[in-house]
Amino acid sequence: MSLNYMIHYFADPRFILLVLLGSVLGLFIGAIPGLSVTMATALLVSVTYSWGTSDAMAMIMGLYVVGVFSGALSAILINIPGAPSSVVTAFDGYPLAKRGEAYKSLKYATIYSFIGSVFGFIALWLLSGPISNIALKFHPIDYFLLSFFGLLAVGSLTSKSFTKGLISAAVGLLIAMVGMDSVMGRPRLTLGIRALQGGINVVPALVGLFGMTEVLSSIMQKKMGAEVSEMKNEKVPMKNILKHFPLSMIYSAIGTFVGALPGAGGPVASFLAYSTAQKVVKKPSREFCDGAVEGIVASESSNNACIGGALIPMLTLAVPGDAVTAIILSVFIVHGMQPGPLFIKTQPDMFASVLAGGFLGCVFLLILGLLVAPKLSKLILVPKRILLPIVTVLCIIGSFACNNRIFDVVLMFIFGLIGYFMRKHDYPTAPMVLAIVLGSMMDSNFRRTVSLLESEEHKIAYLFSSPITVILFAVTVLTLIFSIPAVQRLFKKKK
Amino acid sequence: MEEKNKKINPVLIEGIVLCALSVLGIIFSIICHYGFKVEWKLSPYLFPLFISIMLCMLSISLILSSFSGLKEAKREKGDRKTFLIFLLECAIYLIVLKYLGFLISTMLLLGAIVHLLGEKSWWKIILISVVTSLIIYFLFGVYLGVMLPKGKLLYMIGIRL
């Protein structure tokens, strides 16, 4: 069924144009250090608020797919990754560029980003159905445990201190509780402020935590100077590039799996794939970290395959795989839809719009990466004194547009300051964002579980009557235990 | 002399502050729950209480971590003056926005920030602030239909921007 809808989207010129627009935006935003795909997606949510859901998805998917790839552009040319997932690409991409082979480096990055992205979306298409069927058997406690596991995983993977990661998540959950209680219909945690009775809209929180935090951090930092590597249009035979295809399938599988784990994302996937490449490839073209194309293949295949991977739990379980999918989840919510196990059955057209947008984004990634990206080398050095004021105004308008309230702009600045101080004191913002998005779902499932238990005589037996609950509980407890620093030290000593 | 030079670990201070806030959260949740006069299973403050208790335990863990060596990475001192002036300019913008409307307030804000961040040439400042504001105004206010603030003062003198 989703294939029919996808064909309809592939044949719709408006849909294709919106994906192209998003892709072009993603190419510029991903390439410029200081701008992030996460921030741009958060801004796009408010801009596309009044659009149809499929139109919004088209633009966001184009931005997401190409934006993740284009972080490689500045990583290769100026050794400053445009996105965290491109850090590993710089290890070999920049040394190659310094040798005058920037074009070759970029071509490898483009081709293997394309391959990785397509792999991820095919995995999304094939695996979403089976995972949804499993999720249909979920009880309220299972949703609660899954969200809790998601927050634990994000908290442990995005911060050096597990405690700080969890604190960030807990504060995010409290923020999500502000507003009108859905069961009792009365204000909760509003502190008497009338404007808070509608709750804290996720858009100002996202724009503040990602956009304004970036602006405030950049203002505090000293200016960075960089030289752009020269881009010579050299011939790189496709046969040479495609001989790494079999290994790219392994890296893409790593990326898809890691992307499906909440909080892991592109950086973790690319590091894992890179270390796999170092073990598997016996005779690289050059030493790793000195211009080995095998390093670029590993990094770019895996970090782009993450995109499809991150969308799997978001669409089937309503648990986002990373910050961008948390924002995409909010797009569905603001348009009155709820991703989850029934999503593919009840909204096959919306599922198809995500897939179609993703596949089209992959095609535009290839076209833009081969034809346009090499010409962007000068543009990525936009001075901060022009970039930051424009980003500030975009943050203001992005947070104002969702409810037409100046109060939301004030909230955005407050979240910007919170995000800045969190970053300064090594508290990750990703768990807070995830918690704000998942908070109300966790609350309702928590209370439903407690209500159901009240009526049962054998509460523990009822709670663990489902094998899914037992598995989720075990995974959650093990994640909690193995994230405790004392336990980690114990295992390291034993090794 | 050595004791004077010994700085308190910031992680310890964070832990203490968070602990205090979480205890306040627990007390607040319990008081508000009794205001609702419902059972705990139906109470909107059940989950906030659970989170406040979790936060309290985490803050105690943070305090203990500070004693076992958890420290924050040393960072270079940033440009605090520019940072604070930027915040002040944004605060003034939020106040002025209601009276002058989006277009004029944003032009002023953009000009102020561009100048603050180091642009010396006045014609470049004016060009960037005017052109950018107009583009954003037409793109969002006109084309995308976002109802941007109109400005009470301008409205009074008959300007509808």
User: Where do the structural domains in chain A lie, given as residue ranges?
Assistant: 2-494
Q: Which residue of A147, A393, A438 is the best one to mutate when testing the B interface, meaning the one whose CB has the most B CBs within 10 A? A: A393
* CB–CB contact B61 A181 (8 Å): no
Q: What is the nearest CA distance from A289 to chain B, expressed in angstroms?
A: 26
CA of A448: which chain B residue's CA is closest?
B41
What is the end-to-end Cα distance of chain A in Å, rounded?
51
For residue A49, what pLDDT is reported? 73
Q: What is the nearest CA distance from B4 to chain A, expressed in angstroms?
A: 23
CA of B118: which chain A residue's CA is closest?
A385
What is d(CA A380, CA A272) in angstroms, rounded to the nearest whole number?
Answer: 28
Contact A402, A408 (CB under 8 A): yes
CA of A446: which chain B residue's CA is closest?
B47
Q: What is the nearest CA distance from B1 to chain A, expressed in angstroms?
A: 28
CA of A441: which chain B residue's CA is closest?
B47
* Three-state secondary structure call for residue A180: strand
For residue A112, what pLDDT is reported? 94
* CB–CB contact B55 A184 (8 Å): no
Return all residues near A181 (Cβ < 8 A) that are at least 6 apart: A187, A188, B44
Q: Which residues pair with A187 in a beta bridge?
A: A180
Q: Which two tokens stand for residue A340?
A: 């989850």
Return the closest-CA partner of residue A305 out of A337, A273, A276: A273
What is d(CA A125, CA A251) in angstroms, rounded to the nearest whole number?
Answer: 19
Return the closest-CA partner of residue B110 out of B124, B130, B95, B92: B130
Q: In this complex, which of A164, A220, A447 lies closest to B47 when CB atoms are compared?
A: A447
Q: What is the nearest CA distance from A409 to chain B, expressed in angstroms?
A: 8
* Three-state secondary structure call for residue A268: helix
Chain A residues closer than 8 Å to B54 by CB: 166, 170
Position B161 pLDDT exceeds 60: no
For residue B107, what pLDDT is reported? 94
Listing DSSP states for A238-296 in one string gives HHHHHTTHHHHHHHHHHHHHHHHSTTTHHHHHHHHHHHHHHHH-SS-SS-TTTT-HHHH
What is d(CA A34, CA A30) in angstroms, rounded to the nearest whole number?
Answer: 9
For residue A90, what pLDDT is reported? 81
* CB–CB contact A384 B117 (8 Å): yes
* CB–CB contact B144 A47 (8 Å): yes
Chain A residues closer than 8 Å to B55 by CB: 167, 170-171, 174
C-beta neighbour count of B145 within 10 angstroms: 9
* CB–CB contact A446 B46 (8 Å): yes
Q: Which two tokens stand for residue A280?
A: 């598997």
HSE (CB half, 13 Å, CA atoms) of A136? 10
pLDDT in tens, chain A (495 residues): 567 888 888 899 999 999 999 999 888 888 776 667 877 887 777 777 778 888 888 999 999 999 989 888 878 887 767 677 787 888 888 888 888 888 888 899 999 999 999 999 999 999 888 887 777 777 888 888 878 887 777 777 666 778 888 899 999 999 999 988 877 788 888 888 888 888 888 778 878 887 788 888 888 875 544 555 555 666 777 787 888 899 999 999 999 988 887 666 777 788 788 888 888 888 888 888 778 889 999 999 999 999 999 898 888 888 877 778 888 888 888 778 888 888 888 888 888 999 999 999 999 999 998 888 777 766 656 677 888 888 898 888 878 877 788 899 999 999 999 999 998 888 888 788 878 877 888 888 888 888 888 777 777 777 777 888 888 888 888 888 877 766 777 766 655
Q: Which residue of B30, B51, B76, B79 is the best one to mutate when testing the A interface, meaning the one whose CB has the most A CBs within 10 A? A: B51
pLDDT tens, A445-457?
A: 888 888 888 777 7
Q: In this complex, which of B61, B83, B140 lies closest to A163 when CB atoms are compared?
A: B61
**Interface ipTM:** 0.89
Q: Which residues pair with A179 in a beta bridge?
A: A188
* CB–CB contact B83 A413 (8 Å): no
Query: pTM for the whole thing?
Result: 0.76
For residue B2, what pLDDT is reported? 45
Q: What is the nearest CA distance from A219 to chain B, expressed in angstroms?
A: 6
* Per-residue CA distances from A365 to A21, A89, A356, A383 (Å): 12, 17, 14, 26
* CB–CB contact B25 A174 (8 Å): yes
